[in-house]
């Protein structure tokens, strides 16, 4: 009984931590996971076709932060549409750990 209670307290604490994830606004570019590590390539309007093709062929979307040049994984992949690719955008969302973001909104610069 005591063990079960401890267990559920622990689970509750964990979910609170998950929901308390830091909200942030970032500017950057969407790229495919294959090219995301190459910031110079990803942060260019000319990369749009490459990114769309790569994702169609199974790559994942990543978000390349303009200031850190770091590629973040995107938790909710379906938030990215073709119109958001090939330009710098502003993204609002919650960071999940150090390298993943759950995106809530995307707007033009
Ligand atoms: Cu690419």
Which residues surround the ion ligand 1 when the cut-off is CB under 5 Å?
Answer: 32, 35, 50-51, 54
- Is 14's pLDDT higher than 80? no
Decide which of 31 and 19 is more confident.
Answer: 31
Q: Could you tell me the residue ranges of all domains in the chain? A: 22-108
* pLDDT tens profile 51-99: 999 999 999 999 999 999 999 999 999 999 999 999 999 999 999 999 9
Output the CATH code of domain 22-108.
2.40.50
> H/E element holding 32?
strand 23-32
Predicted confidence at residue 26, as pLDDT, reads: 97
Tell me the pLDDT band of 22, cut-offs 50, 70 and 90.
confident
Quote the ligand 1 centre to 53 CA distance (angstroms): 8
């Amino acid at each position: 009984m005591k063990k079960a209670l401890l267990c559920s307290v622990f689970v509750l604490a964990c979910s609170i931590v998950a929901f308390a994830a830091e909200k942030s606004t970032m500017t950057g570019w969407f790229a495919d996971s294959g090219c995301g590590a190459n910031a110079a390539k990803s942060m260019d309007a000319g990369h749009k076709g490459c990114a769309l093709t790569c994702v169609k062929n199974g790559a994942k979307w990543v978000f390349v932060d303009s200031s850190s040049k770091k590629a973040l994984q995107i938790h909710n992949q379906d938030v990215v549409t073709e119109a958001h690719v090939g330009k710098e955008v502003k993204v609002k969302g919650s960071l999940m750990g150090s390298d993943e973001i759950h995106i809530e909104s995307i707007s033009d610069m």
